Amino acid sequence: MYSDKVMDHFENPRNVGEIENPDGVGTVGNAKCGDIMKMYIKVDDEKINDIKFKTFGCGAAIATSSITTEIVKGKTIEEAQQLSNQAVAEALNGLPPAKMHCSNLAADALHKAINDYLGIDNEEDNDEDAHHGHDLGEECTLDMN
Amino acid sequence: MKKIYMDYGATTPVDKEVVKEMEPYFNQVYGNPSSFHSFGREAKNAITEARDKVAQLIGADIVKEMIFTSGGTEADNYAIKGVASALEEQGKHIITSSIEHHAVLHTCEYLEKERGFEVTYLPVDEDGFVNPQDVKDAICEDTILITIMLANNEMGTIQPIAEIGEIAKTAGVTFHTDAVQAVGTIPVDVNQLNVDLLSLSAHKFNGPKGVGALYVRKGTKIKKFLHGGAQERNRRATTENVPAIVGLGKAAELARKNLNRKREELIILRDKLINGIEEKIDHVKLNGHRTERLPGNVNFSIRYIEGESILMKLDLEGIAASSGSACTSGSLDPSHVLLAMGLSHEIAHGSLRLTLGKYNTEEEVDKVLELLPKIVADLRAMSPIYNQ
């Protein structure tokens, strides 16, 4: 159900970990939904000098986190702000429909980390609502028979 | 890489002897069992023989009480809808549990939403047991059916069905049990269990997919399920799937012959796996009762990580397992069974089910015990909610 690219990032996730004294931290999701992503950024001369993540979640959650860090490392803050969840999914050669909404939040976590750096208040956590606003597709239906 | 299959709860490989038994019924004994001629009679005899073997496996003394179906889901649907339709003039209340398989739960929900029935979904305790007293208390004048599973597919807890059956019998309420996970792995006797109807499925005990049976005790009021020909004593029309039914019969015969030995072997492997996981991995919780559980069932919640990730890592190592995480349950919520047992969403997302069966070995258990702790450690190292 996952592309080779997703499997590659799941098996060999890039930039896992935390940054000591980060310039910005962003967290999305919650344990109730089964996905939490936390992004740490270090900014130097308006560029993302270093980025690390920690993720609790499914294969898609881990792969989207990993590729997001890879895409924006070395990019300017402005460029990183343009990155969308959709673009992250495309960079992974697509995600199963059911995963598009529930596990594809890495860009959101990045934006929160950037806002944290810029001193912009992150909006109150509506992640749970955002999660539950979407219907799941057929992709994620492995029942325990 | 040598693969390891530990998902016998999902399905099992068909036994070679079963395949061999089925083979002639595709193109040698191919008659329609309803036909008058010798081709038909031969096929009919094969069905009768299979019915007899299945009846013996579950202690049904009257062979005619067995209706072949397309599997466990159909047997559950037939039992519940068939009894509900036959008795709706008497009352429209059904009692079930909150941990049933969806084949039962969704059928009950259908009757509730579309047919005006009232359904009581009984809670379970932290080990996953239904309290028989709760069943007794829930019975009212309108109650026409009680349906409680014999053993749970996810966490393996075996329900006090004989006791609940006694309560149903005393109250004069028809009692159905979904025994799909139990038949072929633990001793099942319809008379000891006091059940009027029982569902079983061949592919859970090394028989073919697409065939099962519904036991219906003589005298139980139930409407016909499929309208058409007079097959299955006029209750389920359609030309019988003869090879599959023959396969079910053979699987039942083998299961009966090997039941006790296999059960003991599986319990040893199961407990080794349970003890090993508890020894080697911290922050784990065994789901389901420790001993009153299916011989092959192991179900753990592994804290701070998510089930699908564990399955993917295991799969990369060639190990097949399953999980009750939302990602594998087809909804945003994790397993309804684990939630009903009082687990939080977070802990339910990190569940791992390993189900052992006929061909598993101790070496395979050792291999899983060697690989799983590393997989868990890797995922925890990545988890923002885990602090070493």
Tell me the ipTM for this assembly. 0.89
CB of B384 within 8 Å of any CB in chain A?
A: yes
At residue A39, what are phi and psi to the nearest 5 degrees?
-115, 135
Cα dihedral B299, B304, B307, B311 sign: negative
Interface of A with B in 30-89 (CB under 8 A): 31-38, 54-59, 61-62
Tell me whether residues B385 and A31 touch, CB distance under 8 A: yes
Between A and B, how many residue pairs show a Cβ–Cβ distance under 8 A?
Answer: 99
DSSP letter assigned to residue A80: H
Compute the nearest-CA separation of B299 from chain A (Å).
12
| Nearest alpha-carbon partner for B385 in A126, A54, A138 | A54
Q: What residues of B are labeled active site? A: 327
Q: Strands B197-201 and B212-216, how do they pair?
A: antiparallel
pLDDT at A30 (0 to 100): 83
Q: What is the pTM of this model?
A: 0.93
B335–A contact, CB cutoff 8 A:
yes
* Integer Cα distance of B252 and B167 in angstroms: 29
What pLDDT, on the 0 to 100 scale, is given for residue B388? 65
Nearest CA in chain A to B313: A11
Q: Which domains does chain B have, with CATH numbers?
A: 4-11+259-381 (3.90.1150.10), 16-255 (3.40.640.10)
Give chain A's mean pLDDT: 86
Cβ separation A61–B383 shorter than 8 A: no
Once rounded to an integer, what is the mean pLDDT over residues A61-76? 97
Reported as half-sphere exposure (CB side, CA atoms, 13 A), residue A70 has a value of 16
Tell me if chain A has a CB within 8 Å of the CB of B107: no
Q: What is the residue extent of each domain of chain A?
A: 4-119
CB of A25 within 8 Å of a chain B CB? The answer is no
Name the CATH topology of A4-119: Sufe protein. Chain: A (3.90.1010)
Buried-state track B343-378, b at ≥16 Cβ within 10 A, e below 16: bebbbbbbbbbbbbbbebeeebbebbbebbbebbee
Residues comprising chain B, all counted: 388
- Identify the pLDDT of residue A140: 34
Q: Within 13 Å and on the Cβ side, how many CA atoms surround B200?
A: 33
- The amino acid at residue A92 is L
Q: What is the pLDDT of residue A134?
A: 35
Q: Which of A30-44, A68-82, A129-143, B188-202 has the lowest mean pLDDT?
A: A129-143
Chain B nearest-CA distance from A108, in A, is 16
Residue with tokens 């530990």: B6
Residue in B closest to A37 by C-alpha: B384
Q: Given an 8 Å threshold on Cβ–Cβ distance, is B324 in contact with A55? A: no
Q: How far apart are CA B105 and CA A101, in angstroms?
A: 27
Per-residue pLDDT of chain B (388 residues; tens, 9 = 90+): 899 999 999 999 999 999 999 999 999 999 999 999 999 999 999 999 999 999 999 999 877 899 999 999 999 999 999 999 999 999 999 999 999 999 999 999 999 999 999 999 999 999 999 999 999 999 999 999 999 999 999 999 999 999 999 999 999 999 999 999 999 999 999 999 999 999 999 999 999 999 999 999 999 999 999 999 999 999 999 999 999 999 999 999 999 999 999 999 999 999 999 999 999 999 999 999 999 999 999 999 999 999 999 999 999 999 999 998 776 656 667 899 999 999 999 899 999 999 999 999 999 999 999 999 999 999 999 999 998 6
pLDDT of residue A34: 85
CA distance, residue A29 to nearest chain B CA (Å): 11
Asked if A4 is an interface residue toward chain B (Cβ–Cβ < 8 A), one would say no
| Chain A residue with minimum CA distance to B102 | A145
Q: Do B308 and A58 touch (CB under 8 A)?
A: yes
Say whether residue A145 is in contact with chain B using an 8 A CB cutoff: yes
Determine the residue of chain A that is closest to B71 in CA distance.
A145
| CB nearest B382 (choices: A62, A140, A143) | A62
Cα-Cα-Cα-Cα dihedral sign, residues B16, B21, B27, B31? negative
Helix axes B307-316 and A59-72, enclosed angle (nearest 10) = 90
Q: How confident is the model at residue A31 (pLDDT cuts 50, 70, 90)?
A: confident
Residue A145: which H helix or E strand, with range?
A: none
Q: Which chain B positions have a beta carbon within 8 Å of A131's beta carbon?
A: 332
